[in-house]
Structure 1
Amino acid sequence: MSGFNEEYNTMGECDFFMRTSEFVTNRVFGSREELMDWVFGSREELMDWVHKLAYSLGIVIVTKRSNKRADGFKHKVVLKCDRGGVYKNADSSKASGTKKINCPFELEARYSSEDDAWTLKVISDQHNHQPIQYMEGHPYAQRLSDEEFSLVAELTKMNVPPRDILAILKKKNISNVSSLRTIYNARSKIRMAEQVGKSPM
């Protein structure tokens, strides 16, 4: 369960923080309990699990950085809360949908060629802010996954109306909070890519 706490620093000011322990799994071995990494069959499966869990907790997870092999394969992905980091330009926060406040939450996803699987490790499960109350209004939460974008492209080629496309997406994923504007923007991107002969992904 998520934990909400308020602590007072040496100046007597209240510091809010939330711990999302749902990203951590404990396993018991005999008389001892250890923290274990989550294991997934693919990066897509891992990312889908992370985003769905984050959505249920009222937080948004984004990619902080990723490492690629010589062949271009991403073997390590570091994830963070969208409120992590700080703005280099103080005015840039006004044009963004979020406010960066250097949230310490961080996850690390790694691929193991030996096991042919992805593991998810929690670097920090703490947040220095409250959860989002209404995820539906968050710009990042309305974004389509790669799979959803491909489905929009396929349905667009079949001349399925945008409203019906949105209904299909929401039926397939009850956590989907995309709007009609999301579908129109995706269709526009798809058509522009087709005109220049490139993949929209």
Structure 2
Amino acid sequence: MEESSEEEEVDQSNNIVLGFDSSDIFSTNLVFNLRESLIEWTKDKGKQDRIIIVIKRSYTGKSGKTRIKFACERSGSYRQIVKKIDGKKKKENLIEEHRQKKCGCPFLLSAHKLVTSDDWILKVVCGLHNHLSAKHLEGHLFARRMTKEETKIFVDTSKCNIMPREILVVIKEKNTHNVSTVRTIYNARQKHRVRE
């Protein structure tokens, strides 16, 4: 990955920071035989370059093709709600504290399932980002989530009364791209206790 100083371009006329292009990262000729492997590959590629990829939309079209649209977590914008205060309508952002996160990032990937088989193909629709990549993902809301496999490891090691820090070490040894924190393990342990 290039250094952020090389990534960043500034339009001198408007002083607008232009982001970076990640088309080459996600351009692939791979054919995925499972939906889950496609999703895992896409999210892992994003994590390697400090980009959080989320599923924007998943649907079956009129032609019978099943599609998945992937986007950057910073795509879109916040909805505004209208509140009546003292008889006057006021527009307010739905989520005030995270207002800076979404910036209308145009990044978009499209995957579709082949009609003749269960294979999936991934294409880059727009590889441009209008923001810089994250400096680090440690403790990030989406990135710190544990996968099903990591959750299984957590459950198995929790039965042996192993300390949360040691559980985290085991999980990070299995997946070098894992950015979970000890807090993630404590939260998972609490959730697991509530289920039991």
Q: TM-score range by the shorter chain?
A: 0.7 to 0.9
Q: List alignment gaps of at least 5 residues for structure 1.
A: 26-36, 70-74, 195-201
Specify the alignment match of 1:86 in structure 2. Answer: 77
Q: CA deviation at 1:82?
A: 0.5
Paired residues of 1:93 and 1:100 also in contact (CA < 8 A): no
Deviations 1:26-65 (A, max 9, x none): xxxxxxxxxxx53212222222221221112121111112
Of structures 1 and 2, the one with the larger relative CO (CA 8 A, separation 6+) is 2
Specify the alignment match of 1:136 in structure 2. Answer: 138
Residue 15 to residue 144, structure 1, CA distance change in 2 (3 Å)? same
Residue 161 to residue 68, structure 1, CA distance change in 2 (3 Å)? farther
Specify the alignment match of 1:43 in structure 2. Answer: 35
Aligned length: 177
Give 3-state SS (helix, strand or coil) of 1:136's partner: coil
CA distance in 2, matches of 1:133, 1:88: 27
Are 1:64 and 2:67 an aligned pair?
Answer: no
Are 1:127 and 2:129 an aligned pair?
Answer: yes
Paired residues of 1:87 and 1:93 also in contact (CA < 8 A): no
CA distance in 2, matches of 1:18, 1:101: 14
Deviations 1:78-131 (A, max 9, x none): 1110000001143615147x6100101111222235232221121111100011
Residue 13 to residue 163, structure 1, CA distance change in 2 (3 Å)? closer
CA distance in 2, matches of 1:174, 1:63: 23
Q: TM-score scaled to structure 1, two decimals?
A: 0.75
- Percent of aligned pairs with the same amino acid: 36
Q: TM-score scaled to structure 2, two decimals?
A: 0.77
Amino acid at match of 1:49: W
Q: List alignment gaps of at least 5 residues for structure 2.
A: 81-92
Residue 193 to residue 76, structure 1, CA distance change in 2 (3 Å)? farther
Q: Which structure has more strand as a fraction of its residues?
A: 1
* Structure 1 stretch displaced more, 111-120 or 49-58: 111-120
C-alpha RMSD of matched pairs (Å): 2.7
Specify the alignment match of 1:24 in structure 2. Answer: 27
1:181 pairs, out of 164, 171, 183, with 183
CA distance in 1, matches of 2:194, 2:102: 32
Q: Which consecutive aligned stretches of 4+ in structure 1 deviate over 4 angstroms post-superposition?
A: none
Paired residues of 2:8 and 2:132 also in contact (CA < 8 A): no
* Structure 1 stretch displaced more, 55-64 or 155-164: 155-164
Paired residues of 1:77 and 1:110 also in contact (CA < 8 A): yes
